[in-house]
Structure 1
């Protein structure tokens, strides 16, 4: 059986004994019914992972005795920051999950003129925590060792003016500019519009802020599909896919 991976945001050192958090206990103890002596893999979101042996397992608590930590080469050299306009239902979950599996470094949920999702106060905080957990779970599954951060919801205009990257791209199907003609970047900011698309004024604002328009083929993609295709292509060209 594959050794389960869990996320514990704390320092990892050989021989250390750490207490597992509630989410890890729910997974390895209550769901998988693991016991003392069983082995798990712990990663801390900062590039390290470590095999560990469970100890003092009960229904509500469990400890892990760490072996030698490792720093596997599983993170892409290309840093991608996705500005993802909010979408309804499970579409945002899908975009966060798949973008994480493909190696993005950061995701900022955006509001725009055609965005139909409105988040404020406690509801916004709850969704941000949920999306961060979606990203963490995707890292557990995909063997990543760094968890992308889910930033606070931002107006599109604010994000395009403040985001910093070597190359800034806005997905816009009315362009034929090839990515292969661009100089290889170390970091990319990727702007994804809502289901109804960005307005011409928003595209113009992005271009004025230094973004370059790019299309990934002749077909128009849904808002949750676009970051998946884009991140795969970017990592194939300049990252570690392929």
Structure 2
């Protein structure tokens, strides 16, 4: 049975609004039927429908258990702001893989320099749909765009793939940083990050790593690093 994200939860009462039409019209669920829902905090709830129409489904929570679908390591992707189709692909696939948050960053070579409220809302909707589709119990945060200077203040342990890096590969970089708990993956935009930006990241404690002899597109690099990170840290067993 599919699960849905709650739009409101207070005690034993909960509401679903965004997926109400799908529940009522497509799945033909109604009063007395049971559905599974996620609270967005990592829990899976079994609920009974109290009232339902195409605009809102009123639920009574029967039980709640940890969903067990979230990685033990927290990973934020700091993605160089890029054109919408590429950003949408990055968000969808990284959410499926298990990213904790995605924060767009304005690098000096970014062709797109402003996110906009409407587009940010669309990106957040894509994250919600991707999380629901792959059975996650948390909707990863899609943050507002930040300048590169703000990225340098990040508190996570940063892994920074860079096409001009030599002699220090991703695998070694991940092993050297095992057990940190909170990680950030930094990916430059279409034109890549500048040498000055790479130097600034290194000075801020970031691990500048190579992904091998092939240059990956900006929409591919984050997925590759995230997949490797989760594998090396035992999250794909």
Q: What TM-score do the two structures reach when normalised by structure 2?
A: 0.89
User: Which of residues 205, 212, 216 is equivalent to 2:207?
Assistant: 212
- Counterpart-to-counterpart distance in 2, 1:74 and 1:28: 23
How far, CA to CA, are the matches of 2:54 and 2:136 in structure 1? 28
**2:153 pairs with one of 162, 172, 185:** 162
Q: Partner residue of 2:197?
A: 202
Check 1:114–1:59 CA distance in 2 against 1; reply closer, same or farther (3 A cut). Answer: same
Structure 1 residues 17-28: aligned runs within 5 Å? 17-21=13-17, 23-28=18-23
Does 77-86 or 139-148 show the bigger shift?
A: 139-148
The answer to whether the 8 Å contact 2:8/2:15 transfers is no
CA–CA separation in structure 1 for the residues paired with 2:227 and 2:235: 10
- Give 1:193's match in structure 2, choosing from 179, 188, 197: 188
Q: Are the structure 2 counterparts of residues 240 and 27 from structure 1 closer, same or farther at C-alpha, using a change threshold of 3 Å?
A: same
Checking the alignment, whether the CA contact within 8 Å between 2:96 and 2:131 is kept in structure 1 is: yes
Counterpart CA distance in 2 for 1:84 and 1:26 is 34
Structure 1 residue 33 displacement after superposition: 4.0
Decide whether aligned partners of structure 1 residues 196 and 36 sit closer, same or farther in structure 2, where only a CA change above 3 A counts: same
Higher strand share: 2
Tell me, what secondary structure is at the counterpart of 1:98? Answer: helix
1:175 Cα deviation from its structure 2 partner: 2.3
| SS at structure 2 position matched to 1:46 | coil
1:202 alignment partner, SS class:
helix
Q: Deviations over 1:30-75 (max 9, x none)?
A: 4444333443221111111112233322233322232211112221
Q: Which residue of 2 aligns with 1:79?
A: 74
2:131 pairs with 139, 149, 165, which one? Answer: 139
Q: d(CA) in 2 for partners of 1:33 and 1:156? A: 49
Could you say which residue in structure 2 is the equivalent of 1:148? 140
1:221 matched to 2:221? The reply is no
Paired residue secondary structure (1:68): strand
Deviates more, 1:42-51 or 1:167-176: 167-176
Q: Secondary structure at the match of 2:84?
A: coil
Alignment equivalent of 1:88, drawn from 83, 87, 90: 83
Asked if the contact 1:48–1:72 (Cα under 8 Å) also holds between the matched residues in 2, the reply is: yes
Q: Which runs of 5+ in 1 are unaligned?
A: none
Give the TM-score normalised by structure 1. 0.87
Distance verdict in 2 for CA 1:201–1:125, change over 3 Å: same
Distance verdict in 2 for CA 1:218–1:26, change over 3 Å:
farther
Does 1:175 pair with 2:166? yes
2:3 match: 5
Match of residue 234 from structure 1: 229
Residues 45 and 61 of structure 1: CA distance in aligned 2, closer, same or farther (over 3 Å): closer
Return the alpha-carbon distance in structure 2 between the equivalents of residues 33 and 10 of structure 1: 22
- Secondary structure at the aligned position of 2:14 is classed as strand
- Once residues 211 and 60 of structure 1 are traced to their aligned partners in structure 2, the CA distance between those partners, rounded to angstroms, is 47
